Amino acid sequence: MKVKVYNLEGKETGEMNLSDSIFGVKSNPTVVHGVFTAQTNNQREPWADTKSKGEVRGGGKKPWAQKGTGRARHGSIRSPIWKGGGVTFGPLSVRNYKTKINKKTKRLALKMCLSDRARNSALVVVEDFNFAEPKTKLFANFLKVLPVKAKSFLLLTPGKNETVLRMTKNLKAVKTVRAEDLSVMDLLSKSTVLISRAGVETVEKVFNK
């Protein structure tokens, strides 16, 4: 598959061949959804925690006599049917939401997402991201001159690029990720992928296994 390559002025400068083993994979929504769900589960933290009747403070004394009061019998105010009592089968912070993801399946889903972006012209390859100055305004202007008009962008850099990170950290529509750390969640969170020639080579090297 061939894609056009642009410079920082938004002008076409040539073409680049993409590996079919990475950018030419047939999509399977079921596989992508399974990996996405597993990754979101693995980021989930169990914060809700309740106390059972054995953990609630107080309630050592019987509220009132067993008989003679005309009221229902109760043994402790810690009972789940009392206000302020324990909770029956409530959520606990020890719950584990971790979901196992097969390595090959995760990589396949990633390739499917990249292929989908490439087929739908949502993958923009740029010569490089060597701006004259590390200013957010320059990057914002660059997004305006791109041939693809989108509301959100996923920027992939080969390795950690401090300059690009500094330029994009205040742009809500842009998320910058190292190409080596790319995930299905990242690809599905933004509509268009921005990547340099070097970034494409890194993706093909890392994930073409």
Backbone angles phi, psi at 16, to 5 degrees: -140, 135
pLDDT of residue 46: 87
Average pLDDT of the residues of the chain: 92
User: Which positions ≥6 away from 58 have C-beta within 8 Å?
Assistant: 77, 78
Residue 148 has pLDDT above 90, yes or no: no
Residue 44 in 3-state DSSP?
Answer: coil
CA dist 167 and 136 (Å) reads 4
Instruction: Name the residue among 104, 93, 94, 101 with its Cα closest to residue 42.
Output: 101
Q: Please check whether residue 76 is in contact with residue 52, taking contact to mean a CB–CB distance below 8 angstroms.
A: no
The amino acid that residue 181 corresponds to is D
Spatial CA neighbour of 168 closest among 195, 137, 196: 137
For residue 147, the model assigns a pLDDT of 86
Tens digit of each residue's pLDDT (9 = 90 or more) over 87-139: 999 999 988 889 999 999 999 999 999 999 999 999 999 999 999 888 999 99
Query: What are the extents of the domains in the chain?
Result: 2-44+97-207, 47-96
pLDDT tens for residues 152-170? 999 999 988 899 999 999 9
Superfamily classification of domain 2-44+97-207: Ribosomal protein L4/L1 (3.40.1370.10)
Residue 43: half-sphere exposure toward Cβ, Cα within 13 Å: 7
Q: What is the pTM of this model?
A: 0.80
Tens digit of pLDDT for each residue in 34-77?
999 999 999 988 899 999 999 999 888 899 999 999 999 999 99
Q: Which tens digit of pLDDT belongs to each residue from 4-32?
A: 999 999 898 999 999 999 999 999 999 99
What gap in Å lies between CA 166 and CA 111, rounded to an integer? 28
